[in-house]
Structure formats: structure tokens, C-alpha cells
Structure 1
């Protein structure tokens, strides 16, 4: 008999740590929930922006303009990494009110 695995993302779920928590994939669990405060991403979002937009940011010679663009890209990454966005792209089963977490977990395990 297998022990059912459930995952609840409370805050940050990044990279391989998030996958390990969820048994290798958010789809490997019986249920994957997140609180509205949850964030999901392949890596820390600031680092992802630095790596993914390295050339674009390096091409901006004005330091203030480069910082403004970096902040804009980070804000966009946070918007896309929010739990509601991840749930919309089918990586999570649901985003729940923290007060409803226990009931949802019990229902998944019964």
C-alpha cells in the first residue's frame, strides 16, 4: 500500500526543492494546494531575471534605467509566479483560503 502524498505551498516553492517536496512533480501528489501567498518558480525570481535577461539588462548603459527595467521584470516575474497564476496553468490543483486547508487535506486522504 502506498502512502498518499499531498503538498501545500504556503510561501515560496522554487526549483528542485519544490519538486522534492512534492515527490518529484506537482502532478505526483494526490493533491497540490497553495495558499494565496504562495509563489512558484524554477528558481528564485530575482536570480531568474538576472540570468534570463542578462543581455537585455547589460545593453542598457544608464544605471538608473537598467535598475528600472530590472525592477519591472522582477515585478512581472512575481506576478506570473503567484499561486493563482500557477493554478491557472494547471501546476496546482487549487489555491485555498488557509482556513480551508485542513478540510481539503482530510478529504484528499479519506
Structure 2
């Protein structure tokens, strides 16, 4: 549902070369949440002061509009955006992909560690 920053990678992000990453249309994949961005960037933009609540709310809304799972899919961080009702089908598809996957591993050098 939400994958922010390092959490995206810890949850088997693209850097770990997963076989399949799917997301629901409501998913949020971003460096950080909108509230966190406003808290950090707001200090620089407003010279260390908190912005007015109305201004803060409008900035948060603007950022949330730009956190779009379809953009993330276009950048290749998500393979497909699925309808939540198709989740079981997507999991079955992922398992089928994994069943036929061939992993090339380096040849084994020794059966027992040298002492």
C-alpha cells in the first residue's frame, strides 16, 4: 500500500531483482510521504518557521497528487497496476513465473570449508 524510501527496497524493491512487482491503484511509492516532505522542505522554504496550516495543507495536497502509482509503473519500479479483485490471480501468475525460473549460480568449489 505504501512504500517510502528504504522501505520500498526492504520490501523487495527493484534493486533486489524480484520476478514480479504489482501494486493496487491506491499504492503510494515515493521517497517519503507528503507530510514528511513538507516537514523537511518547509523548514528551508519558510526560513525555519512552520507554514500556516492552510498553506501546509495545500502543499501536502499538491505533493499527494504527484505521488502516482502509474508514474512509478512508467518508470519501471512496478511491473503492473492491478485491480485489488485480481490480487489472487496476480499472485498465481507470479508463482507460475517463479516455478519455471532458471537461476544460474556459480559452481560449487568445495563441499567443506577449508580449515
TM-score for the superposition, normalised by structure 2: 0.67
Match of residue 79, structure 1, among 61, 65, 69: 65
Matched ranges for 1:1-110 at <5 A: 11-22=1-12, 25-27=13-15, 28-58=17-47, 66-110=52-96
| Higher Rg of the two aligned structures | 2
CA distance in 2, matches of 1:89, 1:67: 33
Change beyond 3 A, Cα 1:57–1:94: farther
Q: Which runs of 5+ in 1 are unaligned?
A: 1-10
User: What TM-score does the superposition give when structure 1 sets the normalisation length?
Assistant: 0.70
Q: Which runs of 5+ in 2 are unaligned?
A: 97-115
Higher strand share: 1
Q: How far 1:31 moved relative to its partner?
A: 0.9
> How many angstroms does 1:58 deviate by?
3.6
Deviations 1:13-33 (A, max 9, x none): 1122221111xx335211111
Q: Secondary structure at the match of 1:31?
A: coil
- Cα separation, 2, equivalents of 1:91 and 1:80: 16
The answer on whether the counterparts of 2:42 and 2:48 sit within 8 Å (CA) in structure 1 is no
Assess, with a 3 A threshold, how the Cα gap between structure 1 residues 76 and 82 changes in structure 2: closer, same or farther: same
TM-align CA RMSD: 2.3
